[in-house]
Structure formats: structure tokens, C-alpha cells
A and B are shown apart, each in its own frame.
Chain A
Amino acid sequence: MGVIEPLTKIFREVFDDEDITLSGEMTADDVDGWDSLSHVNLIVTIETRFNIKFTQKELLTFRNVGDLMDSIQSKLPS
């Protein structure tokens, strides 16, 4: 299963913006309204939808959307 499609859907919902298109290099600075509060919403929504759990270490070291996607991918059953 591809990660980018469901993840884009989550981003569009959380940030209430239908025009968001994800890319690996994207960071919080590129998305309007991506602050520490919405970040928590984003993470919790991702964890619920994909039924996964991020570790504390992962959460503290995500540099961009690419890191986030890699981590989700690694947790999904292959």
C-alpha cells in the first residue's frame, strides 16, 4: 500500500487545506498552520489511521515529510 495517498488525505484534513501536495523535502515551514499544536493532531491522526505507534525518538528526529513517510512505511506490514 502506498503511503503518500492516505497521508496526503490526512494532511488536507488536519490543516484544512485541499491544495496540499506532499513531497519528501517538505517541512513545517512549508505548510500554513503547521505549528506544535497541529503537529500533535497530525501525529495522533496518523497513528490512529495507520494503526501504528511512533517511538519518542522517531518523533523527536523527524526532519521533514520524507522522514515521516519512511517511518510509517517501515511500520506497515509488508
Chain B
Amino acid sequence: MVFNSLEYFLFLPAIWLVHYFLGQRFRWLFLLVASLIFYVSLKVPYLLGVITLVTITTYGFGLWIHRVEQLQQKKLLLWGGIATNVLILVAMKYVPFLTENLNVLLSLFDSPIKAPHAQLLVAIGVSYYVFQAISYLSDIYLEIEEPETHFGYFSLYLAFFPKLLQGPIERARDLLPQLKQKYEFNYDNMRFGLLLFTWGLFKKVVLADRLGLYVDAVYNDVHAYQGLPLLLATYAYAFQIYFDFSGYTDMALGTARLFNVKLTDNFNSPYLATSVADFWRRWHITFSRWILDYIFKPLQMSWRNWKNWGTAAALVVTFFVSGLWHGASWGFVIWGLLHGTYMACSVFYRPFQKKIHKAMSLEKTKVLKIWQIFVTFNLVCLAWVFFRAFGGWQALYVLKNIPEMHHNYVALIDNGWADFIRNNIMFGLDKRNIITLAACLICYAIIISKKSYDLLNKPTYIRWTAYYLLIFSIIFLQVSSKKYIYFQF
């Protein structure tokens, strides 16, 4: 079940009530069973086997790494634990991609041998809890964390339903102590949790899904468009994916808060980033911290004698893995490599950047900041094209044809404004759709800019008006819900 489904609106209050009335001793068990029921409701039975396997092996390896004395043995066990997890992930997500590419390679050499065709498995949630399992094992190896001895709490750490399907990717040291804490009813947490959930729901079903209509109109038929529409649809996609994922995260954080659990936030106004590195400090924060700590830093340190070249190579490899993590397709790989390349280039460019800004006396000026935000946003959007398009060729078509705006201009001269707006800005969508979308986005911008999301400290009449408006817009302005973009990862 997904967060914006009727089942969940029945599931959550029921779970909360039972949890509330249960004694502290059984709460962990109840939450664990509830989380597994939540997972089973996806109607993919083997996923239960996968999470059980990851839980048992990681729990065992964790205790084992801690118990052995010799560093060499610890290292061996760490690699054993990581390899098991990675193998499970590869088996679930990458076998069809690997066999397909292997067959292409074999056909190049006219080989009569062919790898058998593999079925793509549904792997919702797997990459999230596998990453958490790897971070848990690494932290035990690095002795920044003690292994959890209580198998029940450990299982709940991996399976806790608010963050099971799509993160945030939590560290054991942040989440486990909260799961063990004695539950006491907290009015502020309830209020905040419910508001955050509703706000996330609004972002998802009103903003993201409506933007999705707009994006799909172009991206499902890119060859019918040139110039401006391709640019607008790409910008719209940047916001669709942001509202989709950050809306989901708000719902996850809101749900957890009802149980007095504070999950880590994943977003901090990512499109206001002034560099690609800054973007990654603001976008999918728990994931970027993970790749930074467990892939980038070890690589950077291993290659430290190559100085900047080592860092640059570590960045490219890290973001290559990040691309692969998102999915087994070349689009994601190219997306990752683009981000890796941006950051690798900045390693060499950064020393000059400061000097250039100083020479132009632009340091710490507003103009510079706006320019940097603009450039970063466009670099990020360029990479999003590969994320959204169906395959690399379609993405290249989009990038090649965005600059072809003179076609739009000629069409404007020939057919007039009305036609131009219908074809190049509205993409054949209903007028009401576009007006609603624009109105909702403007409302969102006003709310964010005035920091009105700090609603809980406002007078009662403002609060309740806002609650009603939010619920009203969710009910009447939602687009029939689709899947979450980040589910597939």
C-alpha cells in the first residue's frame, strides 16, 4: 500500500491505536508485524523472504565482526557481509540488465552462445534496506557503533514501515535508540506529524501528479516537439520529481512522528543550491551522506597520493554507483556519470573560481549568487533529461532540440499567439489544468517564501483556515494518483 491510498488511511490510524493501547513490552513486536504486513500488502510475496534474508545475515555478520579480535578477520567478515547484501541487491535488480548487455557484447563477436533472458523482479524497498544494512556493518567494523543484540529491534530498524519503501536511509545509531524509547503520548508530535503528512500529501497528489500530466504530454512523445516545449517540460520534471520525492518524505517523516520517531529529513531547498556539490548537500540528503561516507571517502583516502586526480576519480566512481543504484539502465548510469563529471571538474576549477570572482569583484554579491543558482539548476536539469527520457537516444534528441527555438518563433509569426500558447506552453492540455497548476504553484511559493509552514505557531483562526484549505485542495484538486518516481529504486 502507498501513503496516498485509502488502505493506508485505514491502516495508519488502526496501527496507531493498537500501538497506543499496547504495553511497552510488545510495542516493538507489534510495529514489526505491522511493518511486514505493510510490506506484504504490495502483493509481492518474495519480498518478505528478501527482507528476512537481509535481516538475518546482517544481524549475524554484525555480531560476528564485533566478536572476532583480529583486524584482518574483521575486514574479511565486513567484506563477506557487504558481498552478501550486494549479491542480494544484484540478484533482485540487475540480472536482466547484465544479461541483456552481455548478449549485446556476445553478438558483437558473432558468438553463438547467448545468456538466458531474465525476468525483471519487483524490488521495492530492497535498495533502501540493503544500503542501511551495509552502513550498519561498516559502522560496527569502524567501531563507531556496537552491534544490536536484540534481533527484534534490529529487524524493526530495517523494516520500520514509514521508511521501508523509499527511505530516508537511516543510520542504526539514529533510529534504534528512538525505537527503544518508552512511548508516551505527545500532543506536539501528533499535531506536527499530521500536518507534515498532509503537507506531503498535498505536494504529491496536487503538485507532483499535476506537473506529471504536463511532463508526460511532452516526454511521452518527444519527437513531436522542438525548442521551448522540451525546455519547459524538463524544468517541469525537475519540480515534479522534487515534489514527488519530498512529498513522500514528508509523509514518511509525518507518519514516524506519530510514533515519536524523528526520521532524518531528505531535502533542504535543493534548487537554491549554488553548486552541484551544494545540490547534493540538499537533495536526497540521507542517500548522499551514505555515498559520501561509504563510497567516496574510502576511495578518496585510498587514492590520496594522486591528490586532486584521486579525488576527481573517486567522485566519478561514486556517482557512477549512485546512478546504478537508481536503476539498471544506461539513462541512470549517464545521469550519475554527469553528476560525477560536474563535481570532478569543480575539483580543478574551484581554485580559479575564487580568483575569477575576486577579479570581477563579484565575491559575496547577490548577482553572483543568483547566477550560481541559475547555472546549478540548469546543470541539474540537463542531467534530469537522462533520468526521465526513455533511453539515451531520446535524451540526446531532447538535448539536441532544446536550442532549436527558432522553430517556435517561426510558428509564432505564422500562426499567432493563441496557437503558440496552445502548442508550445500548454501541450494540448486543458486550460483548467494549466490554471490550477499555476495557481497551486504560486500558492506553494508564497507559503514557502513566507515560512508559513511554521503554521503550528500561528493563531488558531489562521491555522484552521490553512488546515481546511489544505484538505480541500487535496480532495478537489488531486490528480488520480500514480506511482511514486522513487519507488522503482
Contacts and interface: CB of A to CB of B under 8 A. Distances in A.
A64 interface: no
B314 to A, nearest CB: 9
Nearest to B308: A37
A41 B304 CA distance: 8
B350 interface: yes
B143 A41 contact: no
Interface in B160-174: none
Contact of B142 (A37, A40, A41, A60): A60
A44 B305 CA distance: 7
Contact of A37 (B141, B297, B301, B311): B311
B302 interface: yes
Interface in A49-78: 56-57, 59-61
Interface string A27-56: 000000000110011011000000000001
A43 B297 CA distance: 13
B144 A40 contact: no
A56 B311 contact: no
Contacts of B60: none
Contacts, number: 36
Interface string B275-312: 00000000000000000000011101110110110110
B300 A56 contact: no
A36 B301 contact: no
A44 B307 contact: yes
Interface size class of B (residues with CB under 8 A): 10 to 19
Contacts of A43: 301, 304
B311 A40 contact: yes
Nearest to B312: A37
B310 A61 contact: no
B311 A36 contact: yes
Q: Which of B143, B296, B304, B308 has the most CB of A within 10 A?
A: B304
Nearest to A59: B301
Contacts of A40: 300-301, 304, 307-308, 310-311
Interface residues of A, number: 11
Given A56-B298, A60-B297, A60-B301, A41 B307 contact: yes
B18 interface: no
B243 to A, nearest CB: 31
A61 B297 CA distance: 11
Nearest to B141: A57
Nearest to B74: A57
A61 B304 contact: no
A44 B310 CA distance: 12
Given A41-B307, A44-B305, A36 B142 contact: no
B122 interface: no
A36 B315 CA distance: 11
Contacts of B71: 57
A56 B143 CA distance: 13
Interface string B174-218: 000000000000000000000000000000000000000000000
B356 interface: no
Contacts of A36: 296-297, 300, 311
Interface string B117-161: 000000000000000000000000111100000000000000000
Nearest to B294: A60
Given A40-B304, A43-B304, A44-B305, A60 B310 contact: no
Contacts of B308: 37, 40
Given A37-B311, A40-B304, A56-B302, 7 more contacts: A36-B297, A40-B307, A40-B308, A41-B307, A43-B304, A44-B307, A56-B298
Interface of B: 71, 141-144, 296-298, 300-302, 304-305, 307-308, 310-311, 347, 350
23 contacts: A36-B296, A36-B297, A36-B311, A37-B347, A37-B350, A40-B301, A40-B304, A40-B307, A40-B310, A40-B311, A41-B307, A43-B301, A43-B304, A44-B304, A44-B305, A56-B298, A56-B301, A57-B71, A57-B142, A60-B142, A60-B301, A61-B142, A61-B144
